[in-house]
Chains A and B, each alone.
Chain A
Amino acid sequence: MGMTHVVDRRLNGKNKSAVNRERFLRRYRHHIKKAVADAVQRRSITDIERGESVSIPSQDIEEPIFHHGQGGKREMVHPGNQEFVAGDTIPKPPGGGGGGQGHGKASPDGEGMDEFAFQITQEEFLDFLFDDLELPNLARKKLKDTESFKYVRSGFTTEGVPAKLDVVRSLRGAHARRLGLGGARKKKIRDLEEQLEALKMAPKDLDPAFSHEDQIQVLEEEIARLKANIRRIPFIDEIDLRYRQHQKHPQPATSAVMFCLMDVSGSMTQMHKDIAKRFFILLYLFLKKNYKKIEVVFIRHHTSAKEVDEEEFFYSRETGGTIVSSALKLMKKIVESRYPPSEWNIYAAQASDGDNWNDDSPVCSKILAEGILPLVQYYAYTEITPQDHQMLWYEYEKIMERFPNSFAMQQIADPGEIYPVFRQLFERKAA
């Protein structure tokens, strides 16, 4: 027939719907943001490797059309009659249901659902979480240089200290040199010896005019000279020597520990904690891009500090005053006992509403400056409050002046500011 054309389309793009999907997410971003906000409540801050399932009330995404409503007189033909005959009556169910004749819009899945559920990816999840944060940019940023180095072999060099002499490599070079220099002469010797042999074997001519004696003598002398030459080739020469070369490679410790410090005194509301949580998630994400292994330590404090698990950190409530230094002291103790700075990159993020006992703020400043900042890569303080600053902020400002490279502080008033603030905090300071 030849009228049919069979085409393999499988290699054509499969993401034809990507734009439409994106349009959908764009249209319902408010719903999705809310779902994401709810999800953050449920999730651990280290649990960011997956997307999220989002549900939107079906009525909100309905595409309305004119259709019939309930009521009036309807007649429908159905299959599978068993016992009915014309004229039969069937009582209507109480509540006046439409008897399954409602013109409701069938969902593509069959049964009517009142929720439209779908999945968003991890990337989309984070986008919605941080108000369209662009993660790739984050990944490209460099971390502060680390102090430790490791020597890495990088080939051989002709100069070096005797301790680094590579014997095998040097001897191999010498051998090659000897072959190179002596090879041609040895071949010549072999040729000459053959000629000599031939002359010696030749029958003796009585006529001295035809005697080979002269020739033999010349050959023997030449052979002796060549052999002497070869003997003079040194077994090993200065130029044969090879030394192992090493280069200094910066060796970032592959482990990081992240301290989350949070004030849980009565003045911190759940909203404050949510903002703090997002900030911590962002820090975790940031570290995750750079380190193989990350541990997270949660320290909560009011008048005294305590190391807790994440659940307790974010959700258990306590009341009381605020002594920030208690948390700093605890952190210092934990670092000293468990996270030697030579092996760990230490990051700390502190969230607070700025409340502190005034007497305590100078103490904090001292512990930070003397006990903590020398040990950590970076210490970020975020004050979650729309109000005026208190004593602690001004103490910390002094710290920032002294340690501009390892200490940063910002104020966050609402969730939308988290990412910009984060970016400021972690911007690489000009060297």
Chain B
Amino acid sequence: MTDTMDRPNLPENGQDRDRQPISTSSEWTFDLIRKYDEEIAKCAAEFGLDTYPNQIEVISAEQMMDAYSSVGMPVGYHHWSFGKQFLSTSKGYQRGQMGLAYEIVINSNPCIAYLMEENTLPMQALVIAHASYGHNSFFKGNYLFRTWTDASAIIDYLVFARNYVAECEERHGVDAVEQILDSCHALMNYGVDRYKRPAPISASEEQRRQQEREEYQQRRINDLWRTIPRLNDDDDAVNKKIRFPEEPQENILYFIEKNAPLLETWQREIVRIVRKLGQYFYPQRQTQVMNEGWASFWHYTLLHALYEKGLVNDGFMLEFLQSHTAVVYQPPFNSPWYSGLNPYTLGFSIYTDLRRICEHPTEEDRQWFPDIAGTDWVKTLHFAMANFKDESFIQQFLSPKVMRDLKLFSIQNDDQEDVYRVTAIHDEPGYRILREKLARQYNLSYREPNIQVWNVDVRGDRSLTLRHVPVDRVPLGDETEEVLRHVHRLWGFDVHLESVDEGTVVEEYHCPRHSLDEDDD
């Protein structure tokens, strides 16, 4: 499967038309699922999709709810937030308000995809193509996933994490563990070094190093706090300038794990576990458009290939297309169903248009994409899938045609103005602006506040100061104090957070809160 075919092209059509379809009924059986998978795998190979081996698991709706509630982790430690997710999922499902996610796929090796038993056969085929070949090849091919996750180790790691947390619960009580987990979850998105390559996750390694780390870590932390100079303040002005950390740290969880003065060893381990999971999910947060778009493009392309080969009939295709259309539907901004750009639609449109640019380039395409227009589309799409994240992918490949098709426009909302401004639309002067705006919208540091560890008062009250750098004056949200309380719980001493816009502190948060009357009862 790894040897990409030289001439990956649409499978020959026409003469094979009279071949028997794999099935005519929409009832699935295990045999039929295997047959469909076999045929889809053949098509995928013809297009050069490189995948991990697949494990397809047929599950019931209840099991799907379970899977759904544990954010797609097949094994997870226990936490009330997953229970909350489960309650709301099952309620929505029972009331029929919400269909279940019709597929869940796990970035693991083998790549696990769930099929729900209630689905019809065309639906199962769609999910197989989408998840087991689309997402699967994305997990294996995209550089972020290759860098940040280790598909073959994740399941073992999850088992390790679950056991470790359960052990802690036994030893220290459910409440104590829950508190630490709550606090770590609040910072889960701040557990990644964006510019450093992480060590891959490994359960056995974790276990082996755990002991070692326990001793080492404690020693290190003691060292840090032992080097604190005595209280001879007059001593030197040099000491005053000592900053810790020397450079701002964006990985807050890592900083806490390594430096929080009061955490016990098991608490540090839990911080580490949540940090590692955050790292595992990090690529997914940055490739939603690319990943869903890729999977949608391939379910569409692969099932059409089956149709070309005469392996599925018109009824099958009608049902499939109906589902496909629903998946990639984009309600306009003024629709009651509108809730932002649909990543499936955007991604699917970009990949589809990329193929068109390769196969049938127009003059406009040659101007905009001189390196791509007229090239081998399979290679180009693979290149686009492998080497980008949402932000750069959009910046690189969003074509004027897609902007026109989706009728994109950008609106500026400045709180210092009484009006919204339309800054660009899908026209010649607007294309580049739109593309840049949309790309920026998917930049993680634009989506989430930029907050870093700024300083620890090692000589004084051991307080921790975080610094927020606002973009375009956008302030922090109303949960900030709440999150700070979690940071405080982990750090153990006062925590400050300051928003610093171009050198001036525009907002401060403190935990414990600074009150006017310091001497309370």
Contacts and interface: CB of A to CB of B under 8 A. Distances in A.
A205 B210 CA distance: 118
Interface in B434-482: 434, 437-438, 440-441, 448-449, 451, 470-480, 482
Interface in B478-498: 478-480, 482-483, 486
Contacts of B182: 63
A125 B475 CA distance: 43
Contacts of A88: 421-422
A21 B90 CA distance: 11
Contact of B53 (A4, A9, A65, A90): A4
Contacts of A4: 34, 37-38, 41, 53-56, 132
Contacts, number: 289
Interface in B56-109: 56-60, 62-63, 65-67, 69-70, 78-89, 91-92, 97-98
| Most B Cβ at <10 Å: residue of A17, A19, A22, A84 | A17
A21 B62 CA distance: 14
A77 B438 contact: yes
Interface stretch (B16-24, B262-270, B314-322, B331-339): B331-339
A66 B190 contact: yes
B332 A80 contact: yes
Interface stretch (B221-229, B239-247, B406-414): B406-414
A75 B422 CA distance: 9
Interface stretch (A108-116, A356-364, A389-397): A108-116
B505 interface: no
Contacts of A149: none
B391 to A, nearest CB: 13
B308 interface: no
Contact of A72 (B78, B424, B434, B474): B474
B410 A75 contact: yes
B437 A24 contact: no
Given A10-B59, A90-B419, A84 B408 contact: no
A10 B58 contact: yes
Interface stretch (A99-107, A220-228, A377-385): A99-107
Interface residues of B, number: 109
A76 to B, nearest CB: 6
| Most B Cβ at <10 Å: residue of A71, A103, A107 | A71
B110 interface: yes
A84 B425 contact: yes
Contact of A5 (B55, B187, B486): B55
A23 B80 contact: yes
| Most A Cβ at <10 Å: residue of B53, B58, B411 | B411
B33 interface: yes
Contacts of B3: none
Given A9-B63, A16-B63, A89-B419, A23 B178 contact: yes
Contact of B474 (A74, A90, A99): A74
A72 B415 contact: yes
A163 interface: no
A25 to B, nearest CB: 7
A61 B478 CA distance: 15
Q: Is the interface of A mostly helix, strand, loop or mixed?
A: loop
B376 interface: no
Q: Is the interface of B mostly helix, strand, loop or mixed?
A: mixed
A180 interface: no
| Most B Cβ at <10 Å: residue of A12, A66, A87 | A66
B416 to A, nearest CB: 8
A73 B478 contact: no
B206 interface: no
A17 B66 contact: yes
A173 B323 CA distance: 77
A7 B58 contact: yes
B91 A21 contact: no
Contacts of A19: 78, 83
B189 interface: yes
Interface string B184-195: 011111100000
Contacts of A61: 84
A211 to B, nearest CB: 90
Contacts of A106: 339
B252 to A, nearest CB: 9
B66 A16 contact: yes
B374 interface: no
A338 interface: no
Contacts of B483: 64-66
B465 to A, nearest CB: 15
Given A78-B409, A80-B331, A82-B407, 11 more contacts: A6-B33, A9-B114, A14-B63, A20-B69, A24-B84, A61-B84, A64-B482, A66-B448, A84-B422, A85-B425, A86-B430
Interface of B: 1, 30, 33-34, 37-38, 41-42, 45, 51, 53-60, 62-63, 65-67, 69-70, 78-89, 91-92, 97-98, 110, 114, 117, 132, 174, 178, 182, 185-190, 330-335, 338-339, 341, 345, 406-416, 418-427, 429-430, 434, 437-438, 440-441, 448-449, 451, 470-480, 482-483, 486
